[in-house]
Amino acid sequence: MTIHYEELNGKNFNTYSLDHFVRHQRVIECWRNVDGQWKLIPIEFEENWTVEQCQKIAADVALHMENDQTAIGAFDGEEVIGFITVSHNIFGNTAKYVELVCFQVSEPYRGKKIGKTLFYKACEEAKRLGADKLYISAHSSKESQAAYKAIGCVHAEEINQKLAEEEPCDVQLEYVLD
């Protein structure tokens, strides 16, 4: 298995590029802000994208990478096994933030540092765009939050209200760019 990374474009990514992507996650606990304190709450559900959902996400990524986001893919041969997208829109009052919009690694490839590599490539892109911090409206599952914490993400000092309202169960995080 030789993994390579490259910016996604119309030649290496399209609506069908995620047809074999495995987006599966069994969730048992999620972080919730209860009376101003973050607590793990038992919440059980399973996420499992269908091929149609993968195609919808791929079409969305393709649309945005042509307009207002940079997308970076991890490939095993020609197959996309992970991807991350960064918005070009800078926001914030206390810092210059850009949003990490979408971040996924196919289930069979998790635990192989592919996500970490994609994350750091997104950080490089955020710096190139002029940002001080990467902003993440992140899945609240125990596992997702542990992964973000392991790479140095912390609770956002400044909350993007629009993003927080769009995904009220997400945890708003940031990563300070060096």
Per-state percent for the chain, helix, strand, coil, to nearest 5: 25, 40, 35
Q: Total domain count for the chain?
A: 1
| In the predicted structure, residue 1 carries a pLDDT above the cut 80 | no
pLDDT confidence tier of residue 112, bands split at 50, 70 and 90: very high
| In the predicted structure, residue 157 carries a pLDDT above the cut 80 | yes
Average pLDDT over residues 136-146: 96
Question: Which domain does 96 fall in, by range?
Answer: 3-176
pLDDT confidence tier of residue 69, bands split at 50, 70 and 90: very high
% of the chain exceeding 90 in pLDDT? 97
Average pLDDT over residues 8-27: 96
| In the predicted structure, residue 178 carries a pLDDT above the cut 90 | no
pLDDT of residue 159: 96
Phi, psi (deg, nearest 5) at residue 153: -75, 145
CATH of the domain at 118: 3.40.630.30
DSSP state of 16: T
Average pLDDT over residues 87-112: 96
Q: What 3-state class would DSSP assign to 157? A: coil
pLDDT of residue 88: 98
Residue 157 neighbours by CB under 8 Å, 6+ apart = 94, 95, 174
Average pLDDT over residues 136-161: 96
The upper half-sphere exposure of residue 83, i.e. CA atoms within 13 Å in the direction of its Cβ, equals: 27
pTM > 0.85: yes or no: yes
Taking alpha carbons only, the member of 58, 56, 70 closest to residue 100 is 70
pLDDT of residue 114: 97
The overall average pLDDT reported for the chain is 96
